[in-house]
């Protein structure tokens, strides 16, 4: 039995006094950055959240809390300069992006204090809502709690052609949800649950919305709590997109549970409602055991004033419509090509385990170890992962690199609003979730991707594993190739136009440049000094296989900027 459900109801009854009514604060809308070159700087700051003492925080780009919204376009090659001006190491992970593992910003790409990390990659994801956050092992929860989180909006031609609300901050509103706990001197407390709901870092937030169709990009960036979102008048709203892109068609709902790490894009129709108001709510009362935030106690380690209650997240005051409002929804949004469960190369099971009597949650009763690769996946394989939750709580399972389609929950096909591309799945207590995915594009035996529970303390506590994607047996991994090191030198790296390639003690006879799909892009005979012209290659990460005049081959990697 999970200890968090054992505390007496007495505590709840003492502390469940209703929140004192307070004036609303205007919902903060993060600034946007767009283009193909971005700069993000992490800084410590202070923010006046409450009356009295300021709160120590972290933010990006001079913001006291959270970061700018990055707007990127599918197909663009982007570079981001990430500067760490904190006192601690950190990382920056592009949650949901299909990019090389080296660029992923997971625990293996630390950014020491005072340094800049400059990953680059091509945006291959479809238009959707993604996010960025730190991912330093055992520090993720703390650094996110202090305010390191931002949203990413990917646009593409297909989504742009639809008549959907798309004016950022006007009829297309980012909503970063999390709850936080403040101590008596107004400092953030690193605890499972907070007692105060923040939306975009705003307490008691209010939004002035136009009287028309409004799109909300909702991100659950909490440490642990799930939000069963709905509106105070029980109105129907429309789910148009999941973590990784648009659904085939808008799905009408009155409630949508969002677990930690998940995003949902919804459309709410405020047409003709100018002068009225409605609240965006979390209908968290009476959820089943294991639901994050269902614990009865109102204070203490797993307690919170928001537990097991319905509470307001955002007050929405509807005002006049804009000049060219969206008033009808497209009937069709996209046509998803779902992966075929009858054409699967590998089926795996991951058990979500432990948590009884206060033990740390794990996968397959094994704690995360930075030095251990838990799974090896073959490039281009289609896999089914069966997530079997036999632990004492619900979890949100997230996998890097790929997006997946949920096949079933306890054998039943998912609801229509979940039948799209996902990178996080809530796996309820006693539930088995099966998903299907395909591992395309980026084989790299040296750099793993993560999969983990996105609940902060669970992830930091060891509920994480890692996998590498390798070339299938017919690919370049065969034939005794040494990857990296071993006397091969490639300089400069990254490079823009000219590489110098050397193998100790030999003259280079031939150079092959291989892309991440394992295809030979070009074969060159370098000049006498080992110079190879790469100016004509698209930006990206490549393998380089050099063979010297003695017939010795070495493989390394380089980045074409």
Binding site for ligand C2O (CB under 6 A): 93, 95, 133, 135, 261, 398, 400, 450, 452, 454
User: Rounded CA gap, 267 and 502, in Å?
Assistant: 57
Q: How far is the CB of 508 from ligand C2O (least distance, A)?
A: 39
Q: How far is the CB of 348 from ligand C2O (least distance, A)?
A: 18
**Residue among 155 and 400 whose Cβ is closer to ligand C2O:** 400
Partner whose binding site includes residue 201, from Cu ion, ligand C2O, none (CB under 5 to 8 Å by kind): none
**Residue among 104 and 354 whose Cβ is closer to ligand C2O:** 104
User: Rounded CA gap, 331 and 251, in Å?
Assistant: 10
Q: How far is the CB of 402 from ligand C2O (least distance, A)?
A: 12
Residue spans of beta strands (DSSP E) within 284-333? 310-319
What would the x/- binding string for Cu ion be over residues 443 to 482, using CB under 5 A? ----------x-x--x------------------------
Burial of 72 (0-12, 13-18, 19+ CB in 10 A): buried
Partner whose binding site includes residue 395, from Cu ion, ligand C2O, none (CB under 5 to 8 Å by kind): Cu ion
Point out which span in 174-182, 252-260, 391-399, 410-418 binds Cu ion (CB under 5 A).
391-399
**Residue among 69 and 212 whose Cβ is closer to ligand C2O:** 69
User: Rounded CA gap, 31 and 13, in Å?
Assistant: 42
Task: Please provide the distance, in angstroms rounded to a whole number, between the alpha carbons at the two ends of the chain.
Answer: 54
Residues that contact Cu ion, how many (by CB under 5 A): 7
Partner whose binding site includes residue 180, from Cu ion, ligand C2O, none (CB under 5 to 8 Å by kind): none
Partner whose binding site includes residue 455, from ligand C2O, Cu ion, none (CB under 5 to 8 Å by kind): Cu ion
**Residue among 91 and 307 whose Cβ is closer to ligand C2O:** 91
Q: How far is the CB of 3 from ligand C2O (least distance, A)?
A: 27
| CA–centroid distance for 447 within its chain | 19
The residue at minimum Cβ distance from ligand C2O is 95
Tokens describing residue 549: 């005049």
Written as one string, the DSSP assignment of 43-109 is EEEEE--SSSSPEEEEEETT-SSB-PEEEEETT-EEEEEEEE-SSS-B--EEET----GGGS-STTS
**Residue among 409 and 454 whose Cβ is closer to ligand C2O:** 454
Partner whose binding site includes residue 135, from Cu ion, ligand C2O, none (CB under 5 to 8 Å by kind): ligand C2O
Q: How far is the CB of 58 from ligand C2O (least distance, A)?
A: 17
What is the signed CA dihedral for 225, 227, 232, 237, rounded to 10 degrees? 170
Tokens describing residue 357: 């009597």
Cis before 494? omega within 30: yes
Partner whose binding site includes residue 261, from ligand C2O, Cu ion, none (CB under 5 to 8 Å by kind): ligand C2O
Q: Does 260 bind Cu ion (CB under 5 A)?
A: no
| Of positions 395, 422, 447, 560, contacts Cu ion by CB under 5 A | 395
User: Rounded CA gap, 321 and 301, in Å?
Assistant: 45
Partner whose binding site includes residue 422, from Cu ion, ligand C2O, none (CB under 5 to 8 Å by kind): none
**Residue among 215 and 454 whose Cβ is closer to Cu ion:** 454
**Residue among 273 and 353 whose Cβ is closer to Cu ion:** 353
Exposure string for 102-124, b = 16+ CB within 10 A, e = fewer: bbbbbbbbbbeeeeebbbbbbbe
Partner whose binding site includes residue 237, from Cu ion, ligand C2O, none (CB under 5 to 8 Å by kind): none
User: Rounded CA gap, 266 and 518, in Å?
Assistant: 39
Q: How far is the CB of 143 from ligand C2O (least distance, A)?
A: 12
Query: For the chain, what's the residue count?
Result: 561
Partner whose binding site includes residue 452, from ligand C2O, Cu ion, none (CB under 5 to 8 Å by kind): ligand C2O
Q: How far is the CB of 467 from ligand C2O (least distance, A)?
A: 12
Classify 459 as helix, strand or coil: helix
User: What residues are paired with 553 via a beta bridge?
Assistant: 547
**Residue among 74 and 398 whose Cβ is closer to ligand C2O:** 398
User: What residues are paired with 26 via a beta bridge?
Assistant: 206
User: Rounded CA gap, 117 and 270, in Å?
Assistant: 43
**Residue among 110 and 518 whose Cβ is closer to ligand C2O:** 110
Residues 6+ apart with CB under 8 A from 160: 127, 166
Q: Is the dihedral of CA 90, 95, 99, 101 positive or negative?
A: positive
Point out which span in 4-12, 227-235, 361-369, 429-437 binds Cu ion (CB under 5 A).
361-369
Tokens describing residue 75: 């197909």
Partner whose binding site includes residue 133, from Cu ion, ligand C2O, none (CB under 5 to 8 Å by kind): ligand C2O
Residues 6+ apart with CB under 8 A from 248: 332, 333, 334, 335, 336, 419, 420
What would the x/- binding string for Cu ion be over residues 76 to 105, using CB under 5 A? -------------------x----------
Partner whose binding site includes residue 453, from Cu ion, ligand C2O, none (CB under 5 to 8 Å by kind): Cu ion
Residues 6+ apart with CB under 8 A from 340: 382
Which residues of this chain interact with Cu ion, rule CB under 5 A? 95, 361, 395, 400, 453, 455, 458
């Amino acid at each position: 039995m999970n200890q968090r459900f054992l505390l007496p109801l007495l505590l709840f009854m003492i502390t469940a006094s209703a929140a004192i009514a307070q004036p609303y604060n205007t919902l903060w809308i993060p600034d946007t950055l767009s283009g193909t070159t971005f700069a993000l700087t992490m800084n410590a700051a202070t923010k006046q959240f409450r009356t009295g003492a300021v709160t120590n925080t972290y933010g990006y780009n001079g913001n006291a809390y959270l970061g700018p919204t990055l707007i990127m376009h599918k197909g663009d090659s982007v570079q981001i300069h990430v500067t760490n001006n904190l006192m601690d190491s950190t990382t920056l992970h592009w949650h949901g992006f299909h990019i090389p593992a080296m660029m992923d910003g997971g625990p293996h790409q630390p950014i020491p204090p005072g340094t800049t990390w400059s990953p680059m990659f091509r945006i291959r994801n479809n238009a959707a809502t993604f996010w960025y956050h730190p991912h330093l092992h055992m520090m993720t929860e703390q650094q996110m709690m202090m305010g390191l989180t931002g949203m990413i909006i990917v646009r593409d031609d297909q989504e742009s052609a639809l008549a959907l609300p798309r004016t950022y901050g006007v009829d297309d509103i980012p909503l970063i949800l999390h709850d936080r706990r403040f101590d008596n001197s107004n400092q953030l407390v690193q605890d499972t649950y907070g007692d105060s709901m923040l939306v975009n870092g705003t307490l008691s937030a209010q939004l002035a919305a136009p009287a028309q169709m409004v799109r909300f990009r909702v991100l659950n960036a909490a440490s642990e709590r799930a939000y069963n979102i709905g509106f105070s008048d029980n109105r129907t709203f429309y789910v148009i997109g999941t973590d990784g892109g648009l659904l085939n068609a808008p799905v009408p709902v009155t409630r949508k549970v969002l677990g930690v790490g998940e995003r949902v894009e919804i459309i709410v129709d405020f047409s003709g409602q100018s002068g009225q108001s409605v609240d965006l709510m979390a209908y968290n009362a009476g959820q089943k055991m294991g639901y994050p935030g269902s614990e009865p106690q109102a204070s203490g380690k797993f307690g919170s004033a928001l537990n097991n209650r319905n509470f307001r997240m955002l007050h929405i005051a509807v005002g006049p419509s804009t000049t060219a409002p969206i008033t009808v929804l497209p009937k069709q949004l996209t046509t998803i090509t779902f992966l075929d469960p009858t054409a699967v190369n590998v089926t795996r099971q991951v058990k979500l385990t432990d948590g009884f009597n206060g033990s740390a949650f794990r996968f397959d009763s094994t704690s995360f170890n930075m030095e251990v690769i838990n799974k090896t996946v073959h490039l281009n394989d289609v896999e089914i992962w069966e997530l079997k939750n036999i632990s004492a709580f619900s979890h949100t399972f997230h996998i890097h690199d790929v997006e997946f389609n949920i096949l079933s929950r306890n054998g039943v096909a998912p609801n229509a609003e979940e039948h799209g591309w996902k990178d996080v799945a809530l796996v309820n207590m006693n539930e088995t979730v099966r998903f299907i995915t395909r591992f395309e594009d980026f084989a790299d035996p040296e750099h793993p991707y993560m999969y983990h529970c996105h609940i902060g303390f669970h992830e930091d506590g060891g509920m994480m594993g890692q996998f590498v994607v390798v070339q299938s047996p017919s690919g370049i991994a065969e034939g005794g190739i040494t990857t990296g090191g071993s006397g091969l030198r490639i300089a400069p790296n990254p490079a823009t136009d000219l590489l110098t390639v050397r193998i100790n003690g030999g003259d280079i006879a031939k150079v092959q440049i291989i892309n991440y799909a394992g295809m030979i892009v070009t074969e060159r005979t370098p000049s006498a000094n080992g110079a190879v012209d790469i100016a004509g290659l698209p930006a990206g990460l490549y393998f380089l296989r050099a063979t010297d005049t003695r017939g010795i081959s070495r493989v390394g990697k380089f980045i074409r900027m």
